[in-house]
Amino acid sequence: MKLIYGTTNKGKLNQVKEYLEYKKANIELLSLQDINFNEDVEENGTTFEENSMIKARAIRKFCDENNIEIPVVTDDAGLCIDALNGEPGVYSARYAGDHAPQNISINKVLDKMKNVEDEKRTAKFVCVLTLIMPNGKIYVERGETLGKITKTPGPLGKLTYGPIFIPDGFNKTMNELTEEELGETHREKALNKIIEDLKIEQNY
């Protein structure tokens, strides 16, 4: 079966494709470019669920108008830090300004947490996926990776806040862990639930 994944991020798309292949889900992933969706959707929600739903509804509307009867899934994800009352949260991608370099985003978090004690540096990565079927049925799934914020960053690259996030059960940052060591990420945990939802819908 086919599934439209609401992103223009090729890295994210490839990550999802690899996971679906690993799970033997028999799902062909389509990007927004594949369906010629070029609208700039304003994500003005205050929760991951709201932002994911805003994107999903906009793409579903486009599909309905163009007779594209393919399920749509969208995501919204970010880092939530307990000591910062859940920040950066839904603003994770633009916390230090639009298109801020990774080191600037990281340093803003570390600067805000410079006086926070070790035991209070708990945080979590969150991913919310919204699936809307051609018949209008909606599924919303959430995945989380729990951990804590370091005092100094590890290697840059990969996930924006990966260099300062140590998942529970490890003594290395997320960016230093291999995929095998880390296991399922917050996005993959949510994807796993979406795969099950699709199985229910399609009986395959």
pLDDT one digit per residue (tens) for the chain, 204 residues: 999 999 888 888 998 999 999 999 999 999 999 999 999 999 999 999 999 999 999 999 999 999 999 999 999 999 999 999 999 999 999 999 988 999 999 999 999 999 999 999 999 999 999 999 999 999 999 999 999 999 999 999 888 999 999 999 999 999 999 988 998 999 999 999 999 999 998 874
Q: CA 91 to CA 48: how far, in whole Å?
A: 10
Residue 169: burial class (beta carbons within 10 Å; 0-12, 13-18, 19+): exposed
Dig out the tokens for 27 from the structure: 């799902």
* 188, two tokens: 């993959």
Task: Locate the domains of the chain by residue range.
Answer: 2-202
pTM of the model: 0.94
Question: How far is residue 118's CA from residue 135's CA, in Å, rounded to a whole number?
Answer: 49
Catalytic residues: 76
Class (C level, CATH) for 2-202? alpha beta
Distance CA 36, CA 86 (A): 35
What does the alpha-carbon distance between residue 169 and residue 111 come to, in Å, rounded to a whole number?
Answer: 25
